[in-house]
Each structure stands twice: as structure tokens, then as C-alpha cells.
Structure 1
Amino acid sequence: MLYVYVGLAGAVGALARYGLGLLVDSFGTSPFPVATLLINLIGSFLLGWMTHRFLQTGKFSPQLVTIVGTGMIGSFTTFSTFSVETIQLVENGYVLLAISYVFLSITFGLSSSWLGYRIGTKATRGEVE
């Protein structure tokens, strides 16, 4: 049954990614993939926060964390789109944008995960609510 819940949560995450992508893209077009970067940074933060906050407090089962983390957040974020967009930038002659995209994605993705983890740690200790 866990597989069904992960799949349903995955559908929610994919729809959220699609909707946020449309929203961000409605502000204008650019060769730089702003929507995917933003989505991946949000997902990195949420996964960092959620996995530490939920697992350490013991208030949520590991199954629920799997459903939300793997299903919803896993389908919300997307490494494959990041990879394809990077290749497309290079193929279209935007090499500097591609390098910037990779640098920003890795640097800020890891930073977002770390920040989420730290906030989750502080919340677990009762320092932040």
C-alpha cells in the first residue's frame, strides 16, 4: 500500500512542479531556466527540513516521511530536467549560462538543503517554532 501512497504523493508533487513552472514562466521567457532552479531550491530546502524535523521528533512515521519525501518532494524536484536544460543551453550557444546554472544549482541547492536541515534541527530542539 505504501507504493500507492508514494505514487499519489508523486502525482501531487509533479502537478505542483508543473503549476509553479507555468507561474514562473508567465513572468517572461529567458534562456535561463529560472523555474527549474527555483523548484529545485525549494525542494532541497523542504527535503532537508522535513527529513530532519519529522524523523528526529518521532511524531511522524518513516512511511509518511517516505511518502512525502520520495513521492511528493522527489517528483517536485527534478535532476533530469536540470540535466537536459543544461545540455540545451550548451547546444544553443549559452555556455556561460549553462555553467552559471550548474554552479547556482549545486551551490544553492546544497545551501538550501543545509538551511532546511539546520532549521529542522533547531525546531526539533525547540529553538524555533
Structure 2
Amino acid sequence: MMQTLAIAAGGATGALMRFWVSTATYAWLGRGFPWGTLMVNVLGSFAMGLLYILFIERLTAGPELRAFLLIGLLGAFTTFSTFSIETFNLIEEAQIGKALLNAGGSVMICIAAAWLGVIAGRQL
């Protein structure tokens, strides 16, 4: 039961963080490209890599903390469903170059961010 509550609390927190980060990113870079979604996915991928290594290799964290952060907070913070519909919308608008850039860039940059998070976690 405590893990379930931790996931719910993390999900609510992550959803709010996603809104704040993406809104700030769009205010900064504009809405001509899905910058807000890309930003939260990169940050979330980095955080997942970092926290995964910290929790698995470095720290002793209880299941509730892991559930709060990894499943709840980061699960709600990252936005694969939003990424998918934004990429689809670009395709539908015949902006194929932007759609390919968003899809390829999101995958490659987020994998790289997760890798950097793993490296950062192992350096601690």
C-alpha cells in the first residue's frame, strides 16, 4: 500500500514538473518545434540513468523511495505519449523534416542523456 501511495504522490509531482518545465521551455524557445517535450524527455532520461545507478550500485533506498522517484515522478515527468502525438502532427502538417528530427533527435538524445546519467551516478 505504501508503494502505491508513493507512486501516486510521485506521479502528481512529476506531472506538475512536466507542465512547469515544458511551459518554461516553450516560453524560452517558442512553439515552432516540440522543444518542451524534448526537454522533459532529455532531463527525465538523464535523471533515470543517474538515479538508477545510485539506487542499484551506490545507495540503499527503500522500495517506496524508488517507486516515488523512478515510477511515479519520472514516469509522469517524461512524455512519450505527447512526443508521439506531436511527431504525428508534424507528419500530418507535411513537416517531415521536423518530424524526423524530433523522432530521431528524441531517441538519440534521450539515450545519450540516460548514458550520461549512468556515468554521473558511477562517478559519485
TM-score, normalised by the number of residues in structure 2: 0.93
Aligned equivalents of 2:80, 2:89: Cα separation in 1:
14
| Counterparts in 2 of 1:28 and 1:47: CA distance versus 1, 3 Å | closer
Is contact 1:55–1:62 with CA below 8 Å preserved after alignment?
no
Structure ranking higher in helix proportion: 2
Counterpart position of 2:50: 49
Corresponding residue pairs, total: 123
Structure 1 contact 55–61 (Cα < 8 Å) conserved = no
Local SS of the residue matching 2:33: coil
CA contact (8 A) 1:49 1:113 kept: yes
Moved over 4 A (4+): none
How far 1:10 moved relative to its partner? 0.5
* 2:49 maps to 1:25: no
Are 2:35 and 1:34 aligned?
yes
Other-structure match for 1:94: 95
Query: How much identity, in percent, do the aligned residues show?
Result: 32
Cα pair 1:55 1:65 within 8 Å, conserved:
no
Whole-angstrom CA distance in 1 between matches of 2:71 and 2:42: 16
Q: Name the Cα RMSD after superposition.
A: 1.2
Q: Please give the secondary structure, in 2, of the residue aligned with 1:49.
A: helix
Q: Equivalent residues in 2 for 1:1-129 (5 A)?
A: 1-27=2-28, 29-123=30-124
In the TM superposition, residue 78 of structure 1 has moved relative to its aligned partner by 1.0
Tell me the SS of whatever aligns to 1:27. helix
Tell me the TM-score normalized by structure 1.
Answer: 0.89
Residue segments in structure 1 that go unaligned for 5+ positions in a row = 124-129
Q: Is the 8 A contact 2:44 2:78 kept in 1?
A: yes
Q: Deviations over 1:19-45 (max 9, x none)?
A: 111111223533310010011000000
> What is the CA–CA distance in structure 2 between the aligned matches of 1:23 and 1:122, rounded to whole Å?
30
Q: CA deviation at 1:119?
A: 1.1
How far apart are the structure 1 equivalents of 2:40 and 2:59? 28
Query: Structure 2: which 5+ runs fail to align?
Result: none
Tell me the distance in 2 between the aligned counterparts of 1:74 and 1:28: 24
- AA aligned to 2:26 is D
